[in-house]
């Protein structure tokens, strides 16, 4: 069988919409790297990834390919495994979001930790945004949920995002991925079973959005 035959059986003609879709993935750490792998293996090839970080030993419990590229720039290392992607080696902060042109992309996938950047993303491109909240400190992937920002719960980071958006007068809806599981520890420990599941959920939601836009 050819590489994409199995996914084509599921998606049928919609598979071609994945090939045509332009996706911007912000952050390729634990959540983002698994999302990238899932998108690429599903036939999405017009992917641009943005990150500024390098791999270190602490990444190896939860980030795709990290054990092969210690001390290397993440986006450059990932380009070796996914040669058709475009890469941008930049720190994603509020200023970068304000200056960047998101117009060319069908979807913006937010897998970053910077709170102010997340807030700026919500305000600038909520119509095509899927945002991940915290995957750290948790052990149960079955508690992962998808919903609009105002119906999310159980996540202190998400609560801060909602609070800050209200302060800014933002009332729009956009899709978020969150866990209702109570944090198990105060420190930022992480379990790949949850982190990867966040990334795979983001990929699945991205594919759903791409297919929905094609059916309109």
3-state helix, strand, coil in the chain (%, to 5): 50, 15, 35
Which one of 3.30.110.40, 2.160.20.10, 2.70.98.10, 3.40.50.720 gives the CATH number of domain 5-215? 3.40.50.720
Mean pLDDT of the residues in the chain: 94
Domain coordinates in residue numbering, the chain? 5-215
Condensed to tens digits (0 to 9), the pLDDT of residues 35-81 reads 999 999 999 989 999 999 999 999 898 999 999 999 999 999 999 99
**Residue 216 pLDDT greater than 70, yes or no:** no
**Could you tell me the two tokens for 191?**
């379990």
Q: Which of the four pLDDT bands, split at 50, 70 and 90, describes residue 132? A: very high
Condensed to tens digits (0 to 9), the pLDDT of residues 69-122 reads 999 999 999 999 999 999 999 999 999 999 999 999 999 999 999 999 999 999
- Please state the φ and ψ torsions of residue 52, each to the nearest 5 degrees: -120, -5
Tell me how far CA of residue 29 lies from CA of 82, 103, 143, 162, 198, in angstroms: 15, 24, 21, 23, 12
């Amino acid at each position: 069988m050819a590489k994409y035959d199995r996914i084509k059986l599921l998606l049928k003609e919609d598979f071609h919409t994945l090939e045509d879709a332009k996706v911007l993935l912000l952050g390729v750490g634990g959540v983002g790297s698994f999302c990238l792998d899932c998108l690429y293996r599903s036939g999405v090839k017009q992917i641009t990834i943005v990150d500024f970080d390098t791999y270190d030993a602490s990444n190896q419990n939860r980030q795709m390919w990290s054990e092969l590229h210690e001390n290397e720039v993440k986006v450059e290392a990932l380009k070796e495994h996914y040669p058709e992607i475009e890469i941008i080696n930049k720190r994603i902060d509020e200023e970068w979001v304000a200056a960047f042109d998101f117009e060319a992309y069908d979807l913006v996938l937010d897998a970053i930790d910077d709170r102010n950047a997340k807030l700026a993303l919500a305000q600038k491109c909520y119509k095509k945004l899927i945002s991940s909240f915290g995957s750290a400190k948790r052990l149960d992937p079955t508690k992962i949920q998808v919903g609009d920002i105002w119906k999310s719960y159980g996540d202190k980071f998400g609560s801060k995002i909602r609070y800050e958006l209200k302060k800014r007068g933002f009332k729009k809806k956009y899709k978020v991925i969150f866990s209702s599981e109570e944090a198990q520890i105060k420190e930022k420990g992480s379990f790949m079973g949850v982190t990867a599941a966040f990334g795979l959920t983001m990929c699945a939601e991205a594919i759903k959005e791409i297919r929905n836009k094609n059916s309109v």
